[in-house]
């Protein structure tokens, strides 16, 4: 059990024994300032109010009943009724030993759940844009975090592989094949799509053929299906190249595109009509939702089947949620989609709940994110205002990182510099995104993300190599087991405490899907290590016992940094 959980349990027990209701919350948090101890319990005030008691008086009664012998060296009441807890260095040292001795940093097993994570979701015959980049990176960090904790994760790449545009794309692919220009045309998906659209708008015969192909594709025509598959395959092969380069764990097997749900759609519409949730309106089928009102204050109508018989994005997402619960047996479903689609999801899920397709016990969570902006505060685009190709962005990251590391390490071989540049460049792009609270927009700024100071990938990667260098210099393995941890200096205790908060951190990330919490943790850990490294000599320690103890702390730091960066999908290097 982690420290926060242990303290929460003990303090709520003491609260209950002091007369608080059984469901009272101790609200144990890590203290923001050292003067308030390592942890503080903030729950006393609220509970005292409910009990009609003076908070400080309740706090005293709780302290009288609180037995933290061997865990805390001091407890005190502060302000209106906070309880501050100062942890006992010996207890911390023993826990740090346990973490070091365990393969999994002593993280308690969780009750494993089946969790479906919907992320990345690019569109066929289109270049992945920056919105997909955010979804891909943040979603993958969430996947890695959940898997690390022992959950069964199903990656769902809900690619846009269906819709009326496919008639046009098939007709255009056909034309390019006849001209024997398929390869060239599809190497630039953005241009392919644009030219197809142009032709569609200008050439009536082409447009007519495109429309007939839509009908054929939908009725299962073999030729159209095969052309469609070709478009999907080529797009996903190009995306796979980006995924691999980004160290994103998605593969072709994770594709569960919109088309997967096609066969379910007529049944869903019929069922919603039969349940009285959907009604016909001017030829279309509509669900009216009281929860959402239009400008006139009337219930908003969500169309689930168009007049022409076509289905919509919402219909697919209704079927998709049902499928994830019924067929994939999800206990929890997370959607990494940008915040502009929030209303869309809420409408789809309101219908899903009303129809009873997914019980309330299975959460459907929109882990939304804001936009990636340029330095000018506008949506991130090329100078000409076009979409930035992901592959180009990653190439630029590599180039910039190469310049950086070449300047720093003139003696390194060209090959080593290339490898280093790839890890740092890609890591910088990913980390810049992951380290920002995902709900807001963020400014994409090369100089910031490649800085060696501050909460950046280069800083953390460098900090990691610095820990490793201690062992290299001493010529001993990082898996040192000699001696035992003694926390006699405040810096040592502070470092140990932070190390032991890894579990609390990862649990929060798993709960909220907020990798920036892990980034902040790792950054603080690296800063604490750096202070420790400067002020508490490791290899030149005054005696062997201290030297062993500090080496063990360094060892645990290295493992924790590595493990944390792994959950973020950030690769590390041994030296830089
Ligand atoms: N392909 C969509 C887009 O590019 C994102 C799909 C997200 N997932 C979902 N279940 N709606 O906007």
Measure 102 CA to ligand 1 centroid, in angstroms. Answer: 40
- Please give the pLDDT value at position 191: 87
- Please give the pLDDT value at position 82: 95
The CA–CA distances, whole Å, from 20 to 12, 50, 62, 144, 519 equal 9, 9, 10, 39, 37
What value does the mean pLDDT take over residues 160-174? 94
- Mutational pocket test of ligand 1: of 337, 348, 365, 368, the residue with most ligand atoms within 8 Å of the beta carbon: 337
Which of 25, 111, 107, 132 shows the shortest CA–CA distance to 390? Answer: 132
- Mutational pocket test of ligand 1: of 123, 317, 341, the residue with most ligand atoms within 8 Å of the beta carbon: 341
User: Quick check: 375 pLDDT over 90?
Assistant: no
pLDDT per residue over 126-158, tens digit each?
A: 888 777 999 999 999 999 999 999 999 999 999
Listing DSSP states for 466-500 in one string gives HHHHHHHHHT--SS--SS-----SHHHHHHHHHHT
User: Quick check: 376 pLDDT over 90?
Assistant: no
User: Quick check: 370 pLDDT over 90?
Assistant: yes
CA–centroid distance for 491 within its chain: 31
CA–centroid distance for 220 within its chain: 37
Distance CA 268, CA 255 (A): 22
- Sign of torsion over alpha carbons 456, 462, 465, 469: negative
Measure 87 CA to ligand 1 centroid, in angstroms. Answer: 47
The reply to whether ligand 1 has any atom less than 6 angstroms from the CB of 139 is no
Closest ligand 1 atom number to CA of residue 338: 12
Measure 210 CA to ligand 1 centroid, in angstroms. Answer: 24
Percent of the chain with pLDDT over 90: 86
The CA–CA distances, whole Å, from 151 to 91, 111, 142, 332, 513 equal 30, 8, 11, 11, 14
Measure 341 CA to ligand 1 centroid, in angstroms. Answer: 8
- Please give the pLDDT value at position 383: 76
| Three-class SS state of 236 | helix
Q: Are 506 and 148 in contact (CB under 8 A)?
A: yes
The reply to whether ligand 1 has any atom less than 6 angstroms from the CB of 61 is no
- Please give the pLDDT value at position 116: 98
User: Quick check: 385 pLDDT over 80?
Assistant: no
Distance CA 255, CA 257 (A): 6
User: Quick check: 117 pLDDT over 90?
Assistant: yes
End-to-end alpha carbon distance in the chain: 36
The reply to whether ligand 1 has any atom less than 6 angstroms from the CB of 320 is yes
What value does the mean pLDDT take over residues 238-264? 96
Q: What are phi and psi of 466, to 5 degrees?
A: -70, -40
Which of 165, 158, 273 shows the shortest CA–CA distance to 218? Answer: 165
What value does the mean pLDDT take over residues 3-16? 96
| Three-class SS state of 293 | strand
User: Quick check: 386 pLDDT over 90?
Assistant: no
The reply to whether ligand 1 has any atom less than 6 angstroms from the CB of 121 is yes
Extract the tokens encoding 518.
Answer: 């892990």
The reply to whether ligand 1 has any atom less than 6 angstroms from the CB of 88 is no
Distance CA 498, CA 529 (A): 10
The reply to whether ligand 1 has any atom less than 6 angstroms from the CB of 134 is no
Measure 5 CA to ligand 1 centroid, in angstroms. Answer: 37
Closest ligand 1 atom number to CA of residue 337: 7
Identify the top-confidence range among 99-108, 212-221, 350-359: 350-359
What value does the mean pLDDT take over residues 103-107? 92
The reply to whether ligand 1 has any atom less than 6 angstroms from the CB of 129 is no
Measure 189 CA to ligand 1 centroid, in angstroms. Answer: 18
- Please give the pLDDT value at position 523: 98
The reply to whether ligand 1 has any atom less than 6 angstroms from the CB of 317 is yes
| Three-class SS state of 329 | coil
The reply to whether ligand 1 has any atom less than 6 angstroms from the CB of 158 is yes
Measure 515 CA to ligand 1 centroid, in angstroms. Answer: 21
User: Quick check: 314 pLDDT over 90?
Assistant: yes
The reply to whether ligand 1 has any atom less than 6 angstroms from the CB of 426 is no
The reply to whether ligand 1 has any atom less than 6 angstroms from the CB of 128 is no
Percent of the chain with pLDDT over 70: 100
Q: Are 410 and 111 in contact (CB under 8 A)?
A: no
- Please give the pLDDT value at position 253: 97
What value does the mean pLDDT take over residues 217-239? 94
Q: What are phi and psi of 116, to 5 degrees?
A: -90, 130
What value does the mean pLDDT take over residues 327-339? 97
Measure 333 CA to ligand 1 centroid, in angstroms. Answer: 14
- Please give the pLDDT value at position 356: 98
What value does the mean pLDDT take over residues 6-12? 96
Which of 444, 450, 439, 468 shows the shortest CA–CA distance to 526? Answer: 468
């Amino acid at each position: 059990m982690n420290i926060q959980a242990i303290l929460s349990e003990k303090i709520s027990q003491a609260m209950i024994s002091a007369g608080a209701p059984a469901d009272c919350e101790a609200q144990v948090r890590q203290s923001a300032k050292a003067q308030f101890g390592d942890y503080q319990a903030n729950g006393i005030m609220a509970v005292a109010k409910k009990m009609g008691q003076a908070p400080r008086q309740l706090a005293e009664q709780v302290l009288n009943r609180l037995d933290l012998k061997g865990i805390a060296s001091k407890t005190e009441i502060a302000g209106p009724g906070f309880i501050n807890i100062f942890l006992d260095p010996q207890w911390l040292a023993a826990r740090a030993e346990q973490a070091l001795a365990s393969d999994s940093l002593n993280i308690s097993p969780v009750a494993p759940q089946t969790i479906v994570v919907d992320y990345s979701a690019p569109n066929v015959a289109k270049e992945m844009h920056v919105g997909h980049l955010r979804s891909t990176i943040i979603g993958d960090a969430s996947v890695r975090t959940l898997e690390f904790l022992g959950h069964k994760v199903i990656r769902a790449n809900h690619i846009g592989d269906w819709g009326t545009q496919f008639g046009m794309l098939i007709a255009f692919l056909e034309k390019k094949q006849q001209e024997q220009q398929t390869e060239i045309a599809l190497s630039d998906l953005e241009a392919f799509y644009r030219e197809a659209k142009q032709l569609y708008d200008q050439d009536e015969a082409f447009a007519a053929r495109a429309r007939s192909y839509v009908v054929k594709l939908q009725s299962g025509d073999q030729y159209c299906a095969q052309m469609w598959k070709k478009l999907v395959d080529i797009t996903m092969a190009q995306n796979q190249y980006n995924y691999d380069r980004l160290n994103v764990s998605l593969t072709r097997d994770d594709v569960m595109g919109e088309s997967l749900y096609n066969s379910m759609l007529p049944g869903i519409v019929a069922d919603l009509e039969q349940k009285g949730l959907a009604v016909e309106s001017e030829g279309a089928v509509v669900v009216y939702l009281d929860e959402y009102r239009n400008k006139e204050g009337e219930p908003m109508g969500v169309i689930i089947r168009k007049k022409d018989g076509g289905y919509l994005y919402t219909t697919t997402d209704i079927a998709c949620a049902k499928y994830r619960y019924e067929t994939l047996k999800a206990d929890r479903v997370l959607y990494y989609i940008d915040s502009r689609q929030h209303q869309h999801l809420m409408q789809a899920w309101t219908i899903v709940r009303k129809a009873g397709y997914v019980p309330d016990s299975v959460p459907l969570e929109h882990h939304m994110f804001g936009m990636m902006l340029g330095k000018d505060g506008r949506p991130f685009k090329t100078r000409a205002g076009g979409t930035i190709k992901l592959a180009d962005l990653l190439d630029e990251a590599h180039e910039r990182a190469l310049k950086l590391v070449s300047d720093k390490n003139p003696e390194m071989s060209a090959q080593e510099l290339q490898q280093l540049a790839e890890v740092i460049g890609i890591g910088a792009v990913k980390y810049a995104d992951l380290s920002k609270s995902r709900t807001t927009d963020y400014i994409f700024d090369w100089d910031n993300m490649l800085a060696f100071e501050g909460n950046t990938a280069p800083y953390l990667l460098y900090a990691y190599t610095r820990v490793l260098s201690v062992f290299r210099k001493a010529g001993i393995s990082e898996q040192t087991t000699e001696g035992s941890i003694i926390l006699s200096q405040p810096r040592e205790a502070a470092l140990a405490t932070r190390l032991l908060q890894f579990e609390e951190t990862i649990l929060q990330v798993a709960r909220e899907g907020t990798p920036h919490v892990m980034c902040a943790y790792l950054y603080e850990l690296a800063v604490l290590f750096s202070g420790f490294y400067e002020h508490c000599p490791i290899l030149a320690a005054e005696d062997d016992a201290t030297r062993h103890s500090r080496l063990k702390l360094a060892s645990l730091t290295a493992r924790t940094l590595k493990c944390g960066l792994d959950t973020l999908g950030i690769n590390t290097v041994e030296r830089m």
